[in-house]
Structures are given as C-alpha cells and as structure tokens.
Amino acid sequence: MAKTKHSDITLSMRELDRLKIVQAVLDGLLKPGRAAERLKLTDRQFRRLVQRYRLEGAHGLLSKHRERRSAWVVSDRFSYPLGEFFRGSLEHFLVVLRGAIP
C-alpha cells in the first residue's frame, strides 16, 4: 500500500461495508465475484475498487462526490429573481383560478 498524506477519515456505513468486503477479499475469505455481487458492482468495477484500495488505502474507497456541489443548485445570483418570477406566476395563477371558480 502506498503512503498517503491523509490521516483520520470518516466513513459512511456504506463505505465501511465496502472496506470490510475489500479486506475480506484481500485476506482470501471472500471471492471477488461474490464480493462484487454483495456491493452490487460488476466484476470490473470491483477490481478497480480493489486497485484503488491498494494504492490509496481506505481513502480510495471514499466517494469522489464528497464536498462537491450539486449540478442542480441554482446560483445565489439567480435564486432571488427566479423566486420572484415564480411567486408572481403563482399569484397570477391563483387570481385566474379564483375567477374561474364560482
């Protein structure tokens, strides 16, 4: 295992489960195909996960999407104008709806 600059890490339950399964495969207690099934991964995905674990240790099992902002987040610059637009549209819709209902 290569040395890394990382120290303490926090693992989610899913990541901890991955770590235990990868360690079981490396210890010879579990076959790679069965481990891939347990993690709902293909054999190739599992081999790549093991390879990352060998290179980076437990940090290789961490999700690469951590600390990443969602692509669906609306920037602060647009959130207020959009909110005003939709609020106005809703008010207009309610006025039309009230007029349509006797």
Mean pLDDT confidence for 61-87:
66
DSSP string, 53-71: HHHHGGGGGS-TTTTPPPT
Tell me, what's the pLDDT at 96?
63
Tell me, what's the pLDDT at 59?
86
In whole angstroms, give the CA distance from residue 70 to residue 80: 19
pTM of the model: 0.58
Quick: pLDDT tens for 1-55: 444 455 677 877 888 899 999 999 999 999 999 999 999 999 999 999 999 999 9
